[in-house]
């Protein structure tokens, strides 16, 4: 690996750059980002060697798209237009159906591997990048059969080297399932944060009472709104379905409370308690 280009030098792309620095110490790492401050910060802290443009990626060994999912779908065809025959292009987006659809007929579709590394923090920008972010995390790969075998091997070696587990899924199923286990969690955190902030206007001391449970629950509300608005837009139908089911459960819980049915409240929580067994071993 000699030339690596990362489009979008934020938490995701920047953390990958840190791992690349360790994995390929002799490689040149270039950054492409619409925010000049991101490029300046990334160079300053050594994430990348220099700024680049999409028009300069012809000789790239690897191109990583780590931009909001709606932007990725727009620029991926342009990226494929510019690359060489042996270039591997991967994306890091949280939705997969749209980006797979946008290049299904592209003559260089074989150079692209659709990926979703399930990793991140609530922080954003190159200064939030951390080495080892992906270690022990799952990377969901979609439509692997549409990528050339040699480039599949190249990608799998790379992801394995930085400590990732690999799982395969079709893009439609991916988007449906991720709406439940990721996108709904973020919406819940944002709306819980909003509810408490609205209350805080009248009760200034409420945050002094907030313990670690509240902090961990609302942590995701600190996530980047630009990133998550694009995700919600692209996965709208699946998210609306999850919200319908979530609100039914909330309404049922409220009804139990209104009826003083605390046996029912207990049973609801007890029935859900087994999730700790399902999630055992997940940080």
Evaluate whether residue 50 is within a structural domain. Answer: yes
- Calculate the alpha carbon distances from 187 to 14, 56, 94, 180 in Å: 25, 38, 15, 11
What CATH code is carried by the domain that includes residue 188? 1.10.3660.10
Domain endpoint, select from 170, 200, 217: 170
Are 28 and 130 members of one domain? yes
Evaluate whether residue 210 is within a structural domain. Answer: yes
Are 125 and 235 members of one domain? no
DSSP structure class, residue 146: G
The tally of domains found in the chain comes to 2
- Calculate the alpha carbon distances from 238 to 80, 142, 233 in Å: 29, 18, 10
Are 191 and 163 members of one domain? no
268-281 tens-digit pLDDT: 999 998 887 777 75
d(CA 88, CA 112): 6
pLDDT beyond 80 at 212? no
Containing H/E element for 113?
Answer: strand 112-117
Integer Rg of the chain from CA: 21
Are 119 and 182 members of one domain? no
Q: Domain containing 126: what range?
A: 3-170
Are 161 and 181 members of one domain? no
For residue 45, with 0-12 CB atoms within 10 Å meaning exposed, 13-18 middle and 19 or more buried, which class applies?
Answer: middle
As a residue count, the chain comes to 283
Evaluate whether residue 283 is within a structural domain. Answer: no
d(CA 17, CA 140): 20
pTM of the model: 0.86
Are 206 and 74 members of one domain? no
146-179 tens-digit pLDDT: 999 999 999 999 999 999 999 999 999 999 999 9
Arithmetic mean of pLDDT, 106-132: 92
């Amino acid at each position: 690996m000699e030339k690596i280009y990362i489009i979008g030098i934020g938490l995701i792309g920047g953390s990958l750059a840190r791992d690349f620095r360790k994995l390929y110490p002799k490689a040149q790492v270039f950054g492409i980002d619409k925010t000049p401050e991101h490029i300046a910060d990334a160079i300053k802290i050594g994430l990348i060697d220099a700024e680049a443009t999409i028009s300069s990626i012809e000789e790239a060994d690897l191109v990583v798209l780590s931009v909001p999912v709606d932007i990725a779908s727009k620029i991926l065809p342009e990226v494929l237009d510019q690359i060489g025959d042996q270039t591997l292009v991967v994306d890091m987006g949280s939705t997969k159906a749209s980006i797979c659809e946008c290049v299904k007929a592209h003559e260089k579709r074989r150079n692209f591997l659709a990926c979703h590394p399930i990793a991140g923090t609530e922080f954003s920008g190159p200064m939030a990048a951390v080495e080892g972010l992906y270690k022990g995390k799952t990377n969901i790969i979609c439509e692997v059969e549409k990528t050339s075998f040699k480039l599949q091997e190249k990608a799998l070696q790379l992801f394995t080297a930085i400590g990732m587990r690999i799982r395969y899924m079709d893009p439609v199923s991916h988007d449906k399932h991720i709406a439940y286990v990721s996108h709904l969690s973020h919406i819940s955190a944002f709306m819980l944060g909003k509810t408490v902030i609205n209350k805080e206007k009248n009760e200034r001391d409420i945050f002094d009472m907030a313990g670690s449970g509240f902090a961990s629950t609302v942590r995701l509300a600190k996530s980047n709104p630009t990133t998550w608005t694009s995700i919600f837009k692209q996965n709208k139908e699946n998210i609306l379905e999850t919200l319908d089911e979530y609100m039914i459960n909330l309404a049922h819980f409220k009804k139990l409370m209104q009826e003083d049915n605390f046996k029912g409240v207990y049973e609801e929580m007890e029935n859900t308690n087994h999730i700790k067994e399902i999630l055992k071993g997940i940080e």
